[in-house]
Structure 1
């Protein structure tokens, strides 16, 4: 803890209040723990989830399914571990919902959150989503057990979650979904991690920041046909199966994607960032340590500041920041949702 506090203070990354450390950790600022999204999810009316709706606490699958699919807004607090039955079962999430883990203990095990076409205004935060993988089925070609899957949705914020050991995608953003922000998540122990696309249209706008990809093989993320993909301050490390010459990789700008990568940190990664000939990829300020393979950059892509303001942390600070602040946090599961 002291080392993290010292590094954050030395690099000038915001206030470090010792009194905060016992409760929520150092450097508690609006952009790290606030209950409003940044990036693309903040645009075009913003993303508020279930704000203004009833606050309910659920401890079992039936209650989670009931409130998540309801027509009216809800803030749904998930307390403890919920194991989905049957194995791989989906929890349908309707519009105007916030799903947030209580403390840092909220878990969905062997199940999926699913957002169907037309769904909008959803926040999923502070959850652990894990263990839908089938032993011995590494490629998962005959299953579709994602952690979160969304198709043709708008305004979704996926923040401070932990995804682990899922078959197949941990997070799939599909079929022309728009105004998405994916921030401060931990993606761990997986083959197909985080994919975007499944469309020939070029519509999606997505912000991906301060995420930790650890022991993940591919799609970290893979971004196909996104109009704007802004990746910054992400941490990629310790890939699984680095001897695979093709399908072990970090960030991939595919199809006609325009991608901007800023101040990320790549350690022990094969093909840290790459782009199709039809795509564009601009990279600024990242640190590469013990990386091999492709380091593509071409085209002009876009300027994220034409769309929104954001704070860019130094790449050297990314490992300490992301290790400390990504994944479920007790401060998130306690404070922000008491006042909705």
Structure 2
């Protein structure tokens, strides 16, 4: 019995080896584990507001107050919180979990920001949407991100939906470390998911089981990351496939070392590319109706030297990601999560 329980626990944490390519992928336990996997699980791990008071908020003032507090909190967002003024920033301090209740939790026309030194933060099960400015597709005059972090560490961004944001839906910047981005939906955007804004090589990031749909560029763009592990992601038709340069999927930039595994690219221009100074290893992905660059360069790194993970077959990725990415009804509703 102890051995069986141990195996179940390992599956729930995604801590078993690579799935056999011919086996049916698991569709339950490891999709909703309450502790992060990948780089966010290392060097002490990421627990968010675990052990702190659990609060439920329905307005901007309460969300801002608890998110910026010095003590740990599990903050449940119930319903739609509309930030005022348009593009307003909610500062998030260390030791916080921010989680949407069911599928109802939304932040509209606002940004969650993790400043320098912020650590141990979990953001789950939220919809963050509609901070785009009409007529400003390129977002040169604004900096309205969905989530922005600068020199933060131990952050887990999981099961969220980002839509119609100006400019970055998720910006991981300035030497942020030990980050995992999993099971999110990135939709309807130009500059989607960027990482870098540094000349250093410190960032370690795991990016898995995310769906990029109708997103033009930065899916993601990864500049000067020490280790970037992308697996089981699903990229579908882009917002502006007629642009021959700035419409692309994954980009290993600067001196980034990137590994891509068992992802699925459908109707994507430049599915993965690498600068001459960067490294990119790709294995096991499926490309359907793709054009442009398919770069591989160098040896990058071996993710299993850092952590164990469950690798789904690439052919199963569209169905899995469509079903399990984005907010889920039971997350944040049945019981408080980390």
1:12 corresponds to:
24
Contact residue 187 and residue 212 of structure 1 kept, 8 A: yes
SS at match of 1:261: strand
1:261 corresponds to:
260
- CA distance in 1 between partners of 2:335 and 2:311 (Å): 24
How many residues align? The count is: 317
2:322 corresponds to:
323
- CA distance in 2 between partners of 1:149 and 1:11 (Å): 38
- CA distance in 2 between partners of 1:313 and 1:172 (Å): 27
- CA distance in 2 between partners of 1:332 and 1:11 (Å): 27
Contact residue 214 and residue 239 of structure 1 kept, 8 A: yes
1:236 corresponds to:
235
Q: CA deviation at 1:34?
A: 1.0
Contact residue 104 and residue 333 of structure 1 kept, 8 A: no
Q: CA deviation at 1:337?
A: 1.2
Mapping of residues 167-178 of structure 1, within 5 Å:
167-178=166-177
Using the size of structure 1 for normalisation, the TM-score is: 0.92
1:291 corresponds to:
290
1:116 corresponds to:
115
Structure 1: gaps spanning 5 or more residues: 1-9, 15-26
- CA distance in 2 between partners of 1:59 and 1:311 (Å): 36
SS at match of 1:333: coil
1:83 corresponds to:
82
- CA distance in 2 between partners of 1:336 and 1:186 (Å): 23
Contact residue 34 and residue 336 of structure 1 kept, 8 A: no
1:152 corresponds to:
151
1:231-250, Cα deviation, whole Å (9 max, x unpaired): 00000001011010100000
CA RMSD of aligned residues (A): 0.9
Contact residue 41 and residue 179 of structure 1 kept, 8 A: yes
SS at match of 2:316: helix
Moved more, 212-221 or 328-337: 328-337
1:24 corresponds to:
none
Mapping of residues 1-340 of structure 1, within 5 Å:
11-14=23-26, 27-29=27-29, 31-337=30-336
- CA distance in 2 between partners of 1:202 and 1:116 (Å): 19
- CA distance in 2 between partners of 1:333 and 1:272 (Å): 34
Structure 2: gaps spanning 5 or more residues: 1-21
- CA distance in 1 between partners of 2:258 and 2:133 (Å): 33
SS at match of 1:292: coil
Using the size of structure 2 for normalisation, the TM-score is: 0.93
1:316-340, Cα deviation, whole Å (9 max, x unpaired): 00000000000000121223516x6
1:193-218, Cα deviation, whole Å (9 max, x unpaired): 00000000010000000000000000
Q: CA deviation at 1:11?
A: 4.0
1:3 corresponds to:
none
- CA distance in 2 between partners of 1:11 and 1:134 (Å): 46
1:286-327, Cα deviation, whole Å (9 max, x unpaired): 000000000000100000000000000000000000000000
Moved more, 123-132 or 237-246: 237-246
SS at match of 1:252: strand
1:6 corresponds to:
none
- CA distance in 2 between partners of 1:276 and 1:336 (Å): 45
1:257-294, Cα deviation, whole Å (9 max, x unpaired): 00000000000000000000000000000000000000
1:117-153, Cα deviation, whole Å (9 max, x unpaired): 0000000000000000011100001100000000000
SS at match of 2:62: helix
1:21 corresponds to:
none
